[in-house]
Amino acid sequence: MEEEYRQGLNLVVEMLRSLEKLPDFRADTFTLQRIARLADTAKNMISVEEPSTLEAPPMEENVPEEVLMLNHVQAKTVEPDAPTPSFEELRTTVLACTKCPNLVAFRHTVVFGVGNPSAELMFVGEAPGADEDRQGEPFVGRAGELLTKIIQTMGFQRSEVYIANVLKCRPDMPAGASGNRQPTPDEMETCLPYLRQQIEHIQPKVMVALGGTAMRGLFGKVEQMKLMRGRWHLFGSIPVMATFHPSYLLRNQALSEKRKVWEDMLQVLDRLGYPVSEKQKNYFLAR
């Protein structure tokens, strides 16, 4: 029995090593935490008499630096036996966050997220804007109104899905400046663990990344959005559809661009196993 478990763990390690060689592969601490817990459980099942000391397998040469870094962070911070905070405990922690002093000084509220904590479908944006900062809810401005229409056209109510951002605070702006700025990589890296924990709690069947900044936050991808949209990406084991941010459609009213986003949503419905009506199929087609 012990040998079977060891063979199983070795198989997992070899599969991960092969994945590291793929160009689009990006390790994440969420996946690493799960593997650590499973490995620790398997070790205990093998022998309750020996202390549970799981040694990390030797790393192959030429492993991507990013993977090494994430493994290092995971080794320092993951406590497999530590209790996972409840969703409301996570909300309380995020609302009191002071990790980014410049954002704390600028924000009015922390925008945690909104919707069904057991949703099958989750939308991820980049950061709150001025409207969201005032109301404490993501996507409530003009872009939010358009996102709500998209969600309803898909056959859902806004309350049935979950909506969150990579960054939970509005990025600070110079005094007297208007508009919004994109979050920096450091700001997103600091805040991303909160989003990972939200995803771990919600366990959506499908996620939608709204815009290039959301894709950079989730995957570190810096490709042009037109090259990433309409394709499936994996965040851990969760399929993610990349599409244009609703604000892009507000700037570009072309029917062809609206159709591209809608085609992405049709793929999402298909992945979820929901039927698509002829009316839905024909939205934004030139007549």
Residues 105 and 41 in one domain: no
The pair of structure tokens assigned to 233 is 């990406």
Q: Does residue 84 lie within any of the structural domains?
A: no
Residues 155 and 193 in one domain: yes
Q: 246 is in which domain, residue-wise?
A: 90-281
Q: Does residue 191 lie within any of the structural domains?
A: yes
* Most trustworthy range by pLDDT among 22-26, 46-50, 260-264: 260-264
Q: Does residue 287 lie within any of the structural domains?
A: no
Mean pLDDT is lowest, of 42-46, 99-103, 193-197, for 42-46
Residues 205 and 242 in one domain: yes
Let me know: does 31 contact 74? Beta carbons within 8 Å.
no
Q: Which of 26, 46, 77 is the last residue of a domain?
A: 77
Selected residue with higher pLDDT from 104 and 30: 104
Predicted local confidence at residue 55, as pLDDT? 40
Residues 68 and 203 in one domain: no
CA angle 111, 112, 116 (to 5 degrees): 125
Predicted local confidence at residue 149, as pLDDT? 97
Count CA atoms within 13 Å of residue 15 on its CB side: 7
Selected residue with higher pLDDT from 230 and 53: 230
Q: Does residue 85 lie within any of the structural domains?
A: no
Residues 14 and 155 in one domain: no
CA angle 247, 250, 251 (to 5 degrees): 95
Q: Which of 54, 77, 100 is the last residue of a domain?
A: 77
Predicted local confidence at residue 57, as pLDDT? 38
- Pairing mode, if any, of strands 206-210 and 238-243? parallel
Q: How confident is the model at residue 176 (pLDDT cuts 50, 70, 90)?
A: confident
Residues 107 and 32 in one domain: no
- What CATH number is attached to the domain comprising 240? 3.40.470.10
CA 281/CA 287 separation, integer angstroms: 13
Average pLDDT (236-247) is 97
Q: Does residue 276 lie within any of the structural domains?
A: yes
Predicted local confidence at residue 178, as pLDDT? 82
Total count of domains within the chain = 2
Average pLDDT (202-224) is 95
Mean pLDDT is lowest, of 99-103, 160-164, 222-226, for 222-226
Q: Using the predicted structure, report yes or no on whether residue 123 has a pLDDT greater than 50.
A: yes
Q: Using the predicted structure, report yes or no on whether residue 201 has a pLDDT greater than 80.
A: yes
Show the 3-state SS of 81-99.
Answer: CCCCCCHHHHHHHHHCCCC
